[in-house]
Amino acid sequence: MAALIRFMRHARLSYKAMFSMLQLKVYVLVMVLSPLSQLLFFSMLVRYIYQGEGLSGYIAANALLLCVMNSVFGMMTVIMSDRGMGTLPLVIVTPANKGLLFLARSVPHIMNGIVTACLGLLFGVLVFQITLSFSTFLLLVCIWLVSIFAACGLGLILASCSLWTPSMHLLANLLASTLLLLSGANYSLQVMPDWLRFIAQALPLTRGVELTKAIVGGRDVSQFAILLTEEFLLGCVFFLIGIVAMRYAEMIARRKGTMELS
């Protein structure tokens, strides 16, 4: 219990240290209005293309996709902020377990992603007047927790690149667009070529989107446990790769003297 309390305290303090400088209006513009405008655009688009068929599933799937702002850009900001403030060397030399340390730092972004996705779903319910039962909502939250965890793992791999390249915003936008296009949130994966479907299956959120659309659409979810387990294991693999990538990037940064920005 003491270890869990220490883990959560570190998660809260690291998030507060990194983002406490943000003003409320910046948070609302970046983390609320921008994601909602994205959901509105794609929901209107799929309603026009599919004539409203399965609209609830598409809206819920697009609400999940809003977590990309937290899982990709949020995780990238963790490392970039440490470099900018000159605290990254202190993080690197700490004797604490690096895996638990970065996992703790991802927790606020996972929770923030859940809040953003739920706001998006509420927005979609109000604007498009769709109905969801409370039990369906709870099931969606469980699926989204696992999916956003997996997406944050991929975000950690991307964050390790910030130690050796200045083009992080280019890479982050590229990854965010890839997740948006290949998740299947706005069309079926079956319309894509085989090689793109293969890439999509190796990315997080794909299974979360599939489960979200199936549950909201009332379709068969016999593979619920299998898909959710695959998404969780995928997230664990991404986190392990992210820790190894951080170790390698740290070694390169020490050699080149790029551990700090200033």
pLDDT attached to residue 122: 92
Which tokens in the block code for residue 27? 């948070």
Phi-psi category of residue 165: left, alpha or beta, with phi > 0 → left and psi -120 to 50 → alpha: beta
- Return d(Cα 125, Cα 201) in angstroms, integer: 29
pLDDT tens string, the chain, 262 residues long: the values are: 777 777 777 777 777 666 666 677 777 777 788 888 888 998 888 888 888 788 888 999 999 988 888 788 877 877 777 777 777 777 777 777 777 777 787 888 888 889 889 999 999 999 988 888 898 999 999 999 999 999 988 988 888 887 777 777 888 888 888 888 888 888 888 888 889 999 999 999 999 999 999 998 887 777 888 999 999 999 999 989 988 888 888 888 777 776 666 5
SS (H, E, C) the chain: CHHHHHHHHHHHHHHHHHHCCCCHHHHHHHHHHHHHHHHHHHHHHHHHHCCCCCHHHHHHHHHHHCCHHHHHHHHHHHHHHHHHHCCHHHHHHCCCCHHHHHHHHHHHHHHHHHHHHHHHHHHHHHHHCCCCCHHHHHHHHHHHHHHHHHHHHHHHHHHHHHHCCCCHHHHHHHHHHHHHHHCCCCCCHHHCCHHHHHHHHCCCCHHHHHHHHHHHCCCCCCCHHHHHHHHHHHHHHHHHHHHHHHHHHHHHHHHHCCCCCC
Its sign, for the CA torsion 27, 33, 31, 118, is positive
**Residue 183 contacts by C-beta under 8 Å, 6 or more apart in sequence?**
61, 65, 200, 203, 205, 206, 208, 209
pLDDT attached to residue 261: 62
pLDDT attached to residue 6: 74
